[in-house]
C-alpha cells in the first residue's frame, strides 16, 4: 500500500479527531485573523460535512459557564457545556442551550444606528467609522464628570477595559448592574459575610457535601448565582454518597422550582424568615445542649411560630433535624433577602451555620474563590447605588451615558424613574445587540457582537471551588454588521489621542485581553501555563479559559458570628394591599431570555406556563375573590398597577401572590415585545439594610378585571387540577 497519506485520508483523520476530542482550535494568535465563513468561501479548519468545535463562555448570565459550540461551514449549530470548565463541567441550563437563538435572533440590531428620536424605532444606519467618531466625540468633548458608563454583569473584560478607560480620562468608574444580581441580593450576601465573618466575599454554600440543606428562599436550582454548579451540588447532595441521601427543606411562601425538589416545604409568612431562623437556632442549641449563644438568645420560639404561621412542632421537628444532621447547611436567598430585614435574615442564617460549626468545612459555608485577575469579589451595584446613579442622571450633570450589557429601563423598578432621568441626559449611546427598552431610549445603538461572536473573559464569581477565568472566543464570523464594543472604544481612544491613546494602546480587543492574561501565564497552580503569551492564549482558547487546580475557597473564621444580637421583629411592608407580593425570576426565562422563542416555549417548571406572565394565587384566595384560572386581574401596589392572567396555584400561601419576572417587554424583538407584564412595575425603591432592592416587601391589592386571557400551559389542566386531576 502506498504509504503516503492522501488529502482525503488526512481529512478523515482530522474529522475523527475533531469529533472525539471535541475541541480543535486555539492554534496560536493566528486564529485571530482566521475568518470563519460560509460554504461558498471555505476558510481554513472548515471541511464539508465536518463540524468544528469552539470553546467559549456562555453569556446568558454572568455565572461564566463554559460552552463548546459546534459549528459547521461557518454556522453555529449547537451549544453544549464545556467539560473542562470547573463551573459547569459540561452541563448547561436551558438558557445556555438556546443562546444560539440570541445569536441568530431575527431582531438583532444589525448595523450601528442613529435614532430619529428616543423611543422611535425609525433610525438611520451609520457606518462604523462615523460611529467611532461619535464615541470619540462623546468621550473627548464632555468633561470627565459628565460621562457615565452603565455596564452589565458580563463580560468582565469589557468592564475591565472601561474601568481602565474611565481611569485614564478621570471619569467615574463604570457602574455595574443586572436584574439577576438585583434579585439575588448580592450586596446583602456580601454584607452578611462581612458582618458575620468580618471578611469580604461572596458566600459559597457547599450543597454537594452537605447532608441536610435548609434553604431560606434560595432558588439555587433556578437562576441564583450559578445555577448549573448548584444543581450539580444538589445532585451530589441527593445521590453523591451512595450511603445516604441528603435531606432538603425549603422555607418560602410559594413552592418554587427549587422548593418542588425539597423534601419538606415550610410556607413561612413573608418577612418572618429571620424569626424562624433564630427560633430554629435556639432550638438547635437547646437540642445540642450548647449554651445559648447571644445571637439566638432573643429568639422566642412561640412568637416566631405564630408570626411565621408555622407550628411550634414543625419548628421543633426542623430543629431536631438540623441538630442531628452530620453536615447541616442553611442557605439564605431569594425573596427572604429582598425584604426590609433581608440582611438580618442573611446574618441569622450564617449564624445558624456558625452554630452547627460548618463555617469553612465541607458541606458548609465558605467564601467563594476570588477569580483570577482580580483582588476581591466586586459586587454589582445594589439598588441604593443605582438609585443614587439615577439621581445623578436626573440632576442633569451627566451629559453622555454609555450603556452596555444591561437593560435597566426594563429591569429597574419603574418607581425609580430611570426613564425620566435618562431624558435629562444629552446623549445616550447603547451598545446593545438587541433592540431592548434601553436601546430604544438611546440616541445611538452601536451593536456589540453577540457573546458567541466575541472575544472576552468572565471572572467566575462563585459556583466552583477553584478560581476560574472563563474564556470567550468567536465561534463564527459576526453574522451582522456589528463591532466589538471593546474595539469601538479602543479605536475611539486612538482617535482622541493623548494619554488615553497611550494607556489604551491596543490594536484590538484580543490584544487587550492578552495584556490582562499575561499576568497568568506562569501562575503555578494553573490548569495550564505557558512560556509566553501567545501559547498561553492558544490554550486559553482551546480549553475555554484558565483556572486553578486547587481549592481556592476561602474558609472564613466564624468569628463572633454567634455573639451578634438580632432584633426580633418581622420585616416591614410597603403599601396597604391585602396580599404579600412575591416577584421571582422566571426560572427558565430569567431576565433576558424573552427574545428566544424556544425559551418562551419552554414550560415553566412549576406552572408549565409558556409565552406569558401569570399571577399565582392560592385556590382559597381565588375562591374568595371569585377568580378562576385565566382571569385577568389587576394588581395594584403603591408603585403601580399591572394586569396579568391568574394561575390558581395550589402551592402558595393564601396571603401571598407571586409573579414571575422576565416578561412584559415593551421592546426587545418580536418574541418578547408586548407579551405579559413586568412585576418590576409594582416595586418601590425601598431597600433592605444592605441597600439591595426589597423586592418582596410590597403589599398589593388584587382586583378582577372581568377579562379573560388564556394562559398557554404545557400541562393539561384537566388532568392536573380539578375533579379529574391525578397525582
Partner 1 sequence: MSAIAKALPNLRPEEMEDPKEHLMHDPLPRGEMNRMVLESMHTTTWKYWTVVTILAFLVVTCLGYAWYYLIMQGLGVSGDNRPVYWGVFLVNFVYWIGISHSGTLTSAILRVLKIESRRPFTRVAELMTAFAIVNAGLSIFMHMGRVWLAYWLIPYPNERGIWPDFHSPLMWDFMAITTYLICSSLYLYLPLIPDLAMVRDRSKGWVKTFYKIFAIGFRGTEGEWKNLHLAMNIFAFAIIPVAFSVHTIVAWDFAMATRPGWSSSVLGPYFVAGALLSGVAAVPIVLFFVRSTMKNMKYFLRPEHFDTVGKMLLIISMGWAYFYFNDYIVPWYAGDKWEKILTLFIEAGPQAWLWYLMLFCNIVVPWSVLWRKKWRQTPWLMAIVGILINVGMYTERYIIVPEMSTINRMPFTWHIYIPRVEVILTIGTFALFLLLYFAASRILPLIPNWEVQEGQEGHILRKIGKAKIPTISQID
Partner 2 sequence: MPKELKSPTSSANTAQDVQGIWGMVVDQDLCTGCQACVAACSMENNVPFVGEVDAGYGRSMQWIRIERFWQGSYPNIKATPYQPVMCQNCHNAPCEPVCPVYASVHSLSEDLNLQVYNRCVGTRYCANNCPYEARVFNWRDYMDPRQRPELVTLANHFNPDVTVRRRGVMEKCTFCIQRIRHAEDTAASENRDIRDGEVVPACAQACPASAITFGRIDDPTTKVSQAADTSRGSHLLEELGTIPHVTYLAGGA
Interface with partner 1 (CB under 8 A): 714-720, 723-726
Strand order in the sheet with 247-251: 264-266, 247-251, 212-216, 328-332
Under 8 Å between Cβ of 561 and 365: no
Angle at 639 between CA 636 and CA 644, to 5 degrees: 40
Sorted by sequence, the CB contacts under 8 Å of residue 395 that are 6+ apart come out as 424
Read off the C-alpha cell for 191: 454584607
Q: Which is nearer to partner 2, 219 or 430 (CB)?
A: 219
Residue with cell 432592592: 693
Give the SS3 label for residue 264: strand
Q: Within the chain, how many helices (H) and strands (E) appear?
A: 25, 27
Instruction: Give CB contacts under 8 A, 24+ apart, made by 298-301.
Output: 298/565, 298/566, 298/567, 298/568, 299/275, 299/566, 299/568, 300/568
- How many residues of this chain interact with partner 2, rule: CB under 8 A? 87
CB of 632 to partner 1, least distance (A): 21
| Binding partner at 19 among partner 2, partner 1, none, C-beta below 5 to 8 Å by kind | partner 2
CB of 718 to partner 1, least distance (A): 4
Residues 632-691 contacting partner 2, CB under 8 A: 650-654, 670-671, 675
Q: Which is nearer to partner 2, 90 or 417 (CB)?
A: 90
| Region from 210-218, 260-268, 284-292, 433-441 binding partner 2, contact rule CB under 8 A | 260-268
Q: Which is nearer to partner 2, 145 or 620 (CB)?
A: 620
Q: Given candidates 28, 43, 106, 144, which one binds partner 2 under the rule CB under 8 A? A: 106
What one-character-per-residue DSSP string does 95-119 give? HHHTHHHHHT-TTS--S-EEESSTT
Residues 67-86 contacting partner 2, CB under 8 A: 72, 75-81
| Binding partner at 357 among partner 2, partner 1, none, C-beta below 5 to 8 Å by kind | none
Q: Which is nearer to partner 1, 674 or 719 (CB)?
A: 719
- The Cα–Cα gap between 594 and 99 comes to 12
Q: Which is nearer to partner 2, 6 or 727 (CB)?
A: 727
| Binding partner at 263 among partner 2, partner 1, none, C-beta below 5 to 8 Å by kind | partner 2
Q: Is 710 in the site for partner 2 (CB under 8 A)?
A: yes
CB of 41 to partner 2, least distance (A): 16
Q: Is 586 in the site for partner 2 (CB under 8 A)?
A: no
Q: Given candidates 587, 640, 660, 691, which one binds partner 2 under the rule CB under 8 A? A: 587
The residues facing 614 across adjacent strands are 645
The alpha carbon of residue 636 and the mean position of all alpha carbons in its chain are separated, in whole angstroms, by 27
CB of 219 to partner 2, least distance (A): 11
Under 8 Å between Cβ of 62 and 87: no
Helix (H) or strand (E) holding 52: strand 52-57
Sorted by sequence, the CB contacts under 8 Å of residue 504 that are 6+ apart come out as 161, 164, 165, 168, 489, 490, 493, 494, 512
Q: Given candidates 12, 316, 317, 495, which one binds partner 2 under the rule CB under 8 A? A: 12
- The Cα–Cα gap between 507 and 505 comes to 7
Q: Is 618 in the site for partner 2 (CB under 8 A)?
A: yes
- Alpha-helix residue ranges (DSSP H) falling in 170-272: 179-184, 186-197, 227-239, 257-260
Q: Given candidates 5, 16, 27, 30, which one binds partner 2 under the rule CB under 8 A? A: 16
| Binding partner at 724 among partner 1, partner 2, none, C-beta below 5 to 8 Å by kind | partner 1
| Binding partner at 718 among partner 2, partner 1, none, C-beta below 5 to 8 Å by kind | partner 1
| Region from 329-337, 401-409, 568-576, 719-727 binding partner 2, contact rule CB under 8 A | 719-727
Q: Which is nearer to partner 1, 40 or 727 (CB)?
A: 727
| Binding partner at 303 among partner 2, partner 1, none, C-beta below 5 to 8 Å by kind | none
Strands (E), 282-405: 328-332, 365-367, 400-404
Radius of gyration of the chain (CA): 26
Q: Which is nearer to partner 1, 41 or 723 (CB)?
A: 723
Residues 443-482 contacting partner 2, CB under 8 A: 479
| Binding partner at 39 among partner 2, partner 1, none, C-beta below 5 to 8 Å by kind | none
Q: Which is nearer to partner 1, 426 or 714 (CB)?
A: 714
Q: Which is nearer to partner 1, 4 or 723 (CB)?
A: 723
Give the SS3 label for residue 249: strand
Residues in the chain: 727
Q: Given candidates 366, 455, 512, 611, which one binds partner 2 under the rule CB under 8 A? A: 611
Nearest to 600 by CA among 587, 583, 612, 615: 612
Q: Is 11 in the site for partner 2 (CB under 8 A)?
A: no
Q: Which is nearer to partner 2, 537 or 621 (CB)?
A: 621
Under 8 Å between Cβ of 521 and 530: yes
Q: Which is nearer to partner 1, 255 or 582 (CB)?
A: 255
Q: Given candidates 287, 477, 610, 632, which one binds partner 2 under the rule CB under 8 A? A: 610
Amino acid at each position: 500500500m502506498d504509504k503516503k497519506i492522501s488529502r482525503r485520508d488526512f481529512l478523515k483523520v482530522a474529522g475523527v479527531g475533531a469529533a472525539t476530542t471535541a475541541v480543535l482550535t486555539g492554534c496560536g494568535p493566528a486564529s485571530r485573523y482566521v475568518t470563519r465563513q460560509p460554504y461558498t468561501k471555505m476558510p481554513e479548519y472548515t471541511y464539508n460535512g465536518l463540524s468544528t468545535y469552539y470553546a467559549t463562555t456562555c453569556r446568558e448570565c454572568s455565572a461564566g459557564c463554559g460552552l463548546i459550540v459546534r459549528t459547521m461551514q461557518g454556522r453555529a449549530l449547537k451549544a453544549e457545556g464545556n467539560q473542562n470548565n470547573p463551573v459547569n463541567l459540561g452541563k448547561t441550563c436551558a438558557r445556555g442551550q438556546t443562546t444560539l437563538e440570541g445569536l441568530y435572533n431575527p431582531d438583532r440590531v444589525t448595523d450601528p444606528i442613529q435614532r430619529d428620536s428616543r423611543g422611535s424605532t425609525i433610525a438611520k444606519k451609520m457606518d462604523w467609522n462615523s460611529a467611532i467618531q461619535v464615541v470619540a466625540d462623546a468621550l473627548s468633548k464632555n468633561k470627565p464628570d459628565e460621562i457615565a458608563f452603565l455596564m452589565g454583569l458580563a463580560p468582565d473584560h469589557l468592564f475591565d477595559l472601561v474601568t481602565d478607560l474611565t481611569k485614564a480620562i478621570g471619569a467615574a468608574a463604570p457602574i455595574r448592574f443586572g436584574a439577576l444580581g438585583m434579585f439575588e441580593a448580592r450586596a446583602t450576601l456580601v454584607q452578611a459575610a462581612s458582618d458575620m465573618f468580618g471578611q469580604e466575599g461572596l458566600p459559597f454554600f457547599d450543597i454537594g457535601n452537605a447532608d441536610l440543606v435548609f434553604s431560606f428562599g434560595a432558588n439555587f436550582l433556578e437562576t441564583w448565582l450559578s445555577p448549573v454548579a448548584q444543581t450539580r451540588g444538589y445532585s451530589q447532595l441527593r445521590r453523591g454518597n451512595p450511603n445516604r441521601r441528603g435531606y432538603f427543606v425549603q422555607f418560602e411562601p410559594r413552592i418554587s422550582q427549587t422548593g418542588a425538589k425539597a423534601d419538606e416545604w415550610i410556607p413561612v409568612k413573608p418577612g418572618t424568615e429571620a424569626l424562624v431562623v433564630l427560633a430554629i437556632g435556639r432550638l438547635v442549641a437547646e437540642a445540642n445542649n450548647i449554651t445559648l449563644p447571644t445571637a439566638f438568645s432573643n429568639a422566642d420560639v412561640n412568637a416566631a411560630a405564630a408570626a411565621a404561621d408555622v407550628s411550634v412542632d414543625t419548628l421543633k421537628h426542623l430543629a431536631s433535624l438540623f441538630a442531628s444532621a452530620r453536615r447541616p447547611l442553611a442557605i439564605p436567598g431569594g425573596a427572604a433577602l429582598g425584604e426590609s430585614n433581608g440582611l438580618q435574615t442573611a446574618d441569622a442564617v450564617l449564624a445558624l451555620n456558625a452554630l452547627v460549626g460548618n463555617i469553612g468545612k465541607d458541606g458548609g459555608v465558605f467564601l467563594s474563590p476570588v477569580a483570577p485577575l482580580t483582588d476581591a469579589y466586586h459586587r454589582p451595584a445594589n439598588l441604593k447605588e443605582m438609585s443614587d446613579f439615577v439621581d445623578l442622571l436626573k440632576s442633569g450633570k451627566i451629559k453622555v451615558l454609555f450603556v452596555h450589557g444591561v437593560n435597566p429601563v426594563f429591569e429597574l423598578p419603574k418607581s425609580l424613574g430611570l426613564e425620566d432621568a435618562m431624558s435629562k441626559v444629552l446623549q445616550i449611546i447603547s451598545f446593545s445587540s438587541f433592540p431592548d427598552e434601553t436601546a430604544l431610549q438611546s440616541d445611538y445603538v452601536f451593536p456589540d457582537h453577540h457573546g458567541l461572536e466575541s472575544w472576552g473573559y468572565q471572572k467566575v464569581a462563585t459556583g466552583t471551588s477553584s478560581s476560574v477565568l472563563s474564556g470567550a472566543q468567536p465561534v463564527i464570523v459576526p453574522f451582522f454588521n456589528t463591532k466589538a464594543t471593546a474595539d469601538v472604544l479602543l479605536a475611539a481612544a486612538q482617535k482622541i489621542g493623548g494619554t488615553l491613546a497611550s494607556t489604551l494602546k491596543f490594536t484590538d480587543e484580543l490584544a487587550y485581553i492578552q495584556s490582562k492574561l499575561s499576568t497568568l501565564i506562569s501562575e503555578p497552580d494553573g490548569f495550564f501555563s505557558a512560556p509566553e503569551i501567545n501559547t498561553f492564549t492558544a490554550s486559553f482558547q482551546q480549553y475555554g479559559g484558565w483556572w486553578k487546580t486547587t481549592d481556592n475557597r476561602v474558609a472564613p473564621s466564624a468569628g463572633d458570628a454567634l455573639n451578634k444580637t438580632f432584633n426580633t421583629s418581622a420585616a416591614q411592608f410597603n403599601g396597604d394591599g391585602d396580599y404579600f407580593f412575591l416577584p421571582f425570576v422566571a426560572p427558565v426565562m430569567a431576565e433576558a431570555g424573552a427574545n428566544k422563542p424556544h425559551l418562551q416555549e419552554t414550560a415553566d417548571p412549576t406552572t408549565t406556563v409558556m409565552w406569558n406572565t401569570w399571577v399565582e394565587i392560592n385556590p382559597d384566595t381565588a375562591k374568595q375573590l371569585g377568580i378562576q384560572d385565566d382571569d385577568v386581574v389587576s394588581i395594584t401596589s403603591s408603585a403601580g398597577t399591572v394586569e396579568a392572567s391568574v394561575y390558581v396555584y395550589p402551592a402558595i400561601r393564601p396571603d401571598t401572590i407571586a409573579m414571575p419576572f422576565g416578561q412584559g417587554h415593551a421592546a426587545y424583538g418580536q418574541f418578547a415585545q408586548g407579551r405579559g407584564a413586568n412585576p418590576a412595575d409594582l416595586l418601590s425603591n425601598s431597600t433592605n439594610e444592605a441597600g439591595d432592592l426589597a423586592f418582596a416587601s410590597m403589599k398589593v391589592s388584587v382586583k378582577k378585571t372581568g377579562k379573560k386571557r388564556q394562559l398557554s400551559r404545557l400541562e393539561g389542566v384537566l388532568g392536573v387540577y380539578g375533579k379529574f386531576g391525578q397525582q
